[in-house]
Amino acid sequence: MGDSRGGAKAVPTLTRADLAEALHLNIGLSRAESADLVEQVLDEVAAALLDGGNVKLSSFGSFMLRKKGLRVGRNPKTGVEVPIAPRTVLTFRPSQLLRERINEA
């Protein structure tokens, strides 16, 4: 997100501290309560994913686990084939509403 390659304007990265500060300023929770709430939400999301489930957040998007099988890759420099082990990857699919908002910006 904060990448500035290609002459593009650098965009700041949103952090846990930023989320907690936004809760503090917008809702009025103490800074400690705000930080705790952010941690609890992130822990719930992580726990659902670690249990093998997906996370769907209405009007935002879905975090989904996908299993990738064994496949053969190739080293681009040498051309040597290398086996790539099966693994589980985390993907994010934005909601239609979020996609529209991004494209309006």
Burial class (CB in 10 A: 0-12, 13-18, 19+), 70: exposed
Does residue 6 sit within a domain?
A: no
Domain that holds residue 65: 53-105
- Looking up residue 86, the CATH number of its domain turns out to be 4.10.520.10
Q: What tens digit of pLDDT does each residue of 24-53 get?
A: 999 999 999 999 999 999 999 999 999 999
CB of 20 within 8 A of CB of 34? yes
Residue 4: its pLDDT value, please? 46
Element (H, E) at 21: helix 16-27
Does residue 28 sit within a domain?
A: yes
Question: What is the domain count for the chain?
Answer: 2
Q: Are residues 27 and 71 in the same domain?
A: no
The structure's pTM equals 0.74
Residue 24: its pLDDT value, please? 95
Does residue 98 sit within a domain?
A: yes
Residue 7: its pLDDT value, please? 55
Q: What percent of the chain is predicted at pLDDT more than 70?
A: 92
